[in-house]
Amino acid sequence: MTIVPLGEHIGAEVRDVDAGSPHAEETFAELRRALYRHSVLVFHDQDISDEQQVAFTRGFGRLQMTIASDPYGGGGPINRIANVDEEGRLIPPRDKRSLYQAGNNLWHSDGSFKSVPLKASMLSAKVVPPRGGETEYASLRAAYATLPESRKVQLEGLVAEHSMAYSRSQIAPGLMTEAFLKATPPVRHMLVRTVPETGEKALYVGSYASHVIGWDIEKGRALLEELLEWSTQPQFVYRHRWKANDLVMWDNRTCLHRGRPWDNGVYKRIMHRTTLAGDGPTVP
Helices (H) and strands (E) in the chain, counts: 8, 16
In this predicted structure, the answer to whether residue 69 has a pLDDT above a threshold of 80 is no
The structural domains of the chain, with segments of one domain joined by +, span 2-276
Query: Which pLDDT value is given to residue 27?
Result: 97
pLDDT, average across residues 106-127: 96
What mean pLDDT is reported for the chain?
94
Mean pLDDT computed over 77-92: 93
Task: Round to whole Å and give the CA distance between 138 and 255.
Answer: 5
Q: Quick one: pLDDT at residue 74?
A: 79
CATH assignment of 2-276?
A: 3.60.130.10
pLDDT digits (tens, 9 = 90+) for 44-61: 999 999 999 999 999 999
Q: Could you report the per-residue pLDDT of 127-154, keeping only the tens digit for each?
A: 999 999 999 999 999 999 999 999 999 9
> Does 86 have pLDDT greater than 90?
no
Confidence of residue 71 (pLDDT cuts 50, 70, 90): low
- Non-local (6+) Cβ contacts of 244 within 8 A are 125, 126, 127, 128
The per-residue pLDDT for 72 is: 65
Handedness of CA 161, 163, 165, 169 (dihedral sign): positive
Top-confidence residue, 101 or 197: 197
pLDDT confidence of residue 193: 96
> Is the whole-model pTM more than 0.85?
yes
Average pLDDT over residues 186-190: 96
Which of the four pLDDT bands, split at 50, 70 and 90, describes residue 221?
very high
- Residues 210, 258: Cα–Cα separation, whole Å: 17
The mean per-residue pLDDT over the stretch 187-201 comes to 96
pLDDT higher than 80, residue 70: no
Is residue 40 within 8 Å of residue 139, measured between CB atoms?
no
